[in-house]
């Protein structure tokens, strides 16, 4: 862009865009230093009370003495343009880091989240709530020093009044359930969002990622928090509990400070794994029951009825490839687990094998033979099925309702050679 002036600042070039405005590299013509200026969207200026609230919160954030909060030099409006002036940070936002590097190691994820959590706790102790914690608002330098930006820009009124413009779509992926129901935006909502960021750092994907706002709202309001180990099986299983509590639907059940969340994540690195079952496989944590009780009871009854009748594999299909799960501590779910496993064994027994077999003709496909791998299936009333081979690393595959066919990575996963329909933890 050609050089333009905004108050005493000479805009040099555009360096970023977001839902709330455009960021420019600029020169402060009085202090002769380079700065970053975010020019906010024009419609914000017309919102009643927004400009005053924006100034008040921006300058409150500027008074914070926290190294991981980008200081605010100035917040003002000129000729109807609302802008905020900050230091020019030599770094990229966390979304760029994750797109470039993929999922982080647990140690690196905790390192980044720890810094953001320190910034949030400092703000909360001064009565400030960020309300828009998400990867685009976290800047990371080449040395993984993290900054939290945009204090004073996001607010509850903005979140709810500008949805028609599509400017807050990215925010839906990190908003606590109460933001969609009661509209409450307190520090526990920031902690929830930080737990979402932790999940994304660990897995490389956003929790409840969907094609739009309705899917994300549904996930945050009604679905159990996602388990990081479902995406990255090599993670310590204690991270599942950390994310589950951090993203609890009830704010009172969450970690009450970001420091508590970070310390729990740090402890998860060295927490002992749960006892192995008789197969030596780590037992997956049970999902909270979020389906209607009537539906759960109906599925349980159907599974128990099927498990009472002998079920075997179709003729010509070897049955030794499927080993039913052995759970002794899942209470009333045992019947469902056994029934679902029996259904699977009876219908697709021989198809879980590493020696490739054509799923249409049943004849062996050309190529070198591979030794079959024994496996067992753990079914869950939340339609979560885990498939583990007897090879390392073990792989958990969460299977939602619908038709599925697996893909294969040599030595890591079992091949499913036919489509199978999964519903409520059962295959049909």
The residue among 305, 295, 300, 192 whose CA lies nearest residue 242 is 192
Angle, helix 293-308 to helix 334-348, in steps of 10 degrees:
60
Active site residue 144: no
* DSSP assignment string, 244-262: HHHT-SSGGGS-SSHHHHH
* DSSP assignment string, 92-160: EEHHHHHHHH-SPPHHHHHHHHHHHHHHHHHHHHTT---S--SGGGEEEETT--EEE--TTT--HHHHH
Q: Do 144 and 116 form a contact (C-beta atoms < 8 A)?
A: no
Catalytic residue among 114, 121, 132, 380: 132
Tell me how far apart the terminal alpha carbons of the chain are, to the nearest angstrom. 60
| CA distances in angstroms from 340 to 301, 304, 322, listed in the order given | 11, 9, 12
Q: Do 38 and 22 form a contact (C-beta atoms < 8 A)?
A: yes
Neighbours of 170 (CB within 10 A): 18
Angle, helix 187-203 to helix 106-125, in steps of 10 degrees:
170
Active site residues: 132
């Amino acid at each position: 862009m050609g050089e333009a002036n905004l108050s005493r600042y000479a805009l040099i070039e555009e360096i970023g865009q977001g839902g709330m405005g455009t960021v420019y590299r600029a020169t402060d013509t009085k202090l002769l230093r380079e700065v970053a200026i975010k020019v906010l969207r024009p419609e914000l200026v017309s919102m009643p009370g927004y400009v005053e609230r924006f100034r008040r919160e921006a300058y409150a954030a500027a008074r914070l003495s926290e190294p991981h909060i980008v200081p605010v030099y100035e917040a003002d409006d000129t000729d109807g343009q609302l802008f905020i002036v900050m230091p020019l940070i030599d770094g990229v936002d966390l979304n760029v880091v994750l797109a470039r590097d993929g999922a982080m190691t647990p140690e690196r994820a905790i390192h980044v989240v720890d810094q953001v959590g320190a910034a949030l706790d400092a703000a909360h102790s001064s009565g400030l709530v960020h309300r828009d914690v998400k990867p685009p608002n976290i800047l990371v330098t080449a040395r993984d020093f993290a900054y939290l930006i945009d204090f004073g820009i996001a607010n509850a009124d903005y979140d709810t009044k500008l949805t028609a413009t599509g400017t807050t779509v990215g925010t839906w992926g990190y908003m606590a359930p109460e933001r969609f129901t009661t509209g409450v935006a307190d520090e526990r909502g920031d902690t929830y969002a930080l737990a979402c960021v932790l999940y994304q750092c660990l897995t490389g994907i956003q929790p409840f990622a969907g094609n739009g706002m309705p899917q994300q709202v549904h996930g945050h309001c009604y679905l159990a928090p996602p388990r990081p180990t479902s995406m990255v099986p090599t993670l310590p299983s204690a991270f599942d509990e950390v994310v589950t509590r951090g993203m609890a639907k009830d704010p009172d059940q969450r970690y009450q400070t970001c420091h508590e969340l970070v310390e729990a994540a740090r402890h998860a690195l060295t927490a002992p794994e749960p006892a192995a079952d008789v197969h030596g496989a780590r037992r997956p944590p049970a999902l909270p029951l979020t389906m209607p009780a009537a539906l759960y009871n109906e599925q349980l009854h159907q599974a128990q009825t099927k498990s009472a009748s002998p079920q075997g594999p179709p003729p010509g299909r070897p049955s030794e490839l499927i080993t039913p799960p052995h759970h002794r501590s899942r209470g009333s779910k045992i019947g469902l687990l056994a029934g679902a496993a029996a259904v699977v064994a009876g219908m697709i027994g021989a198809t879980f094998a590493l020696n490739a077999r054509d799923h249409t003709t049943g004849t062996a496909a050309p190529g070198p033979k591979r030794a079959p791998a024994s496996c067992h299936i753990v079914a869950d009333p939340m339609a979560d099925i885990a498939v583990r081979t007897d090879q390392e690393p073990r792989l958990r595959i969460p299977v939602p309702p619908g038709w599925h066919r697996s893909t294969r990575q040599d030595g890591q996963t079992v091949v499913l050679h036919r489509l199978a329909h999964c519903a409520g933890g059962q295959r049909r």
